[in-house]
Amino acid sequence: MTFSLLEILKQQRTINFVLPNFEYEWGEAKRYPSYFPTKEDWLKLAKTGKVEMVNCSMFLSNTDMCTGKVKNLHPAKAKRALLAIQKGTVELPIFIKIGKRYECLAGNTRLTALHNLRLPTKAWVITIKK
């Protein structure tokens, strides 16, 4: 199955965002042991997040959203992201917010695809208190 970004853009105008799979994303959260020393800590803090619109005027890091192209990302991940967008249901990418800085913990490909298609770029944002 091949995807034309233009075809998807013409077809899909609304996206139903769903909560991230926090159990699955523990694999990504482990990269931040100072914030999430254990899986239990991760699950507890992850559930305190909230949905936010993210955009390129924010202090975003660890994402290709503002500068990348879907065709340059991991092909299997890009295919999954585009299929989800085409179906109209996308799992929220996850950011951790530290001060004014937002760091993408999971969902870079989904976020980049949404941005490339000029669709809403929402994310689950977990605020980390210093």
**What is the DSSP code string of 16-74?**
EEE---HHHHHHHHTT-TTT-SSHHHHHHHHTT-EEEE--TTSEEES--TTT--GGGS-
Query: Residue 2's pLDDT band (boundaries 50, 70, 90)?
Result: low
What does DSSP assign to residue 101?
A: E
Query: Residue 50's pLDDT band (boundaries 50, 70, 90)?
Result: very high
What is residue 2's three-state secondary structure?
coil
- Segment 82-108 shows an average pLDDT of 95
Query: Residue 83's pLDDT band (boundaries 50, 70, 90)?
Result: very high
Query: Residue 70's pLDDT band (boundaries 50, 70, 90)?
Result: confident
pLDDT exceeds 50 at position 130: yes
Give pTM, 2 decimals. Answer: 0.89
Q: In the chain, what are the domain boundaries?
A: 5-124
| Mean confidence (pLDDT) of the chain | 91
- Segment 113-128 shows an average pLDDT of 95
- pLDDT value of position 102: 97
